[in-house]
Structure 1
């Protein structure tokens, strides 16, 4: 085989690997949206614009701040945080219909979530690990919601005066994806499956 043919086969193989990887990312995200358990979280906005991707809302949740007293394996926290940044937060539906944190672990939970509970996986940012004071800040990868152009500022303004929420799909493995942005009971924007 000539070096030209080897180069062509190597290029085709590399292209196929990249296509398979991108396809896997899309299918994985769609699987969470399609099959994940749906939870409703109250949101707090931060900022509405990204120059490259357009309008968005940065979202913060009540479950973004976990009291250290809620972390069940708190005695192992200092050693774990030196090497591990993953945290599992158990959510349960409250009386008002929103889901809230009831427990958390830096190691895998000792028991599976009950029928009325969901375990969501988050990350503890490195800066937070250095400056913890009574709570752990957690990110879940659902802190941004992109909107049609021109919608971000109006929604950010309205979030201060009305209750907004996000419907989130959570897979059995704890992965999460934003499904929809809600203004009270009204659906504002829904994330497409693909």
Structure 2
């Protein structure tokens, strides 16, 4: 093997990790640039970790979808004991808040606003209503220093609205604001 071939191999080997890292950044950046902004209502959370600096732990109404909105195919998958199930949650704006209207295994048609999530299980929520518990990985938001306590107080009352950018079901939390 000559020096020129080894040089090309070294350059190629050095570029592979860079290409992989750039590929990992593509979906979040594409979502931030071209995604549609939605608003999600939070629900009360009792924070449990005080050692991570100023951040707000968030839960959303959209994470507790009434069982009636879950399609039969999803329920059948759940009965088969397959554990976590990848689902698509279709959203419709109601009173300025994007709200789930259907949980499906099938990706919604183009132009429909939806989130990709993981359905963990179906059980009773804090209001004793049967709901599907779905995760979207939008649970923490870091805030300015010395403001975390105020945000946590608002969070425990469910008085925060979350601004989220969504593209093809992929969601990124971009901001929070206090609701009335």
Instruction: Please classify the TM superposition score into its range, dividing by the shorter chain length.
Output: 0.7 to 0.9
TM-score, normalization: structure 2?
Answer: 0.77
The CA distance in 2 between the partners of 1:63 and 1:25, in whole Å, is 26
* CA 9–132 in structure 1, closer or farther in 2 if over 3 Å, else same: farther
1:92 deviates by: 0.3
1:163 deviates by: 2.6
The CA distance in 1 between the partners of 2:158 and 2:133, in whole Å, is 25
Q: Which has the higher strand share?
A: 2
- Structure-2 residue corresponding to 1:142: 138
- Structure-1 residue corresponding to 2:39: 40
Residue 121 in 1 paired to residue 116 in 2? yes
- Structure-2 residue corresponding to 1:87: 87
Q: Compute the RMSD of aligned alpha carbons.
A: 3.1
The CA distance in 2 between the partners of 1:145 and 1:36, in whole Å, is 19
Q: What are structure 2's unaligned runs of at least 5 residues?
A: 125-129
Residue 19 in 1 paired to residue 14 in 2? no
Q: How many residues align?
A: 172
TM-score, normalization: structure 1?
Answer: 0.72
Say whether the 8 Å CA contact 1:163–1:183 is kept in structure 2. yes
User: For each residue in 1:39-91, what CA deviation from the matched residue of structure 2 results, as whole angstroms up to 9, or x when unmatched?
Assistant: 1011134438574x632212111110122221123453335651762011011
Superposition pairs for residues 1-194 of structure 1, below 5 Å? 1=1, 13-44=12-43, 45-47=45-47, 51=51, 54-74=53-73, 75-78=75-78, 82=82, 85-94=85-94, 96-105=95-104, 107-109=105-107, 112=109, 117-125=112-120, 128=121, 132=123, 134-160=130-156, 163-171=159-167, 173-184=168-179
* CA 21–97 in structure 1, closer or farther in 2 if over 3 Å, else same: same
Say whether the 8 Å CA contact 1:50–1:56 is kept in structure 2. no
Q: What are structure 1's unaligned runs of at least 5 residues?
A: 186-194
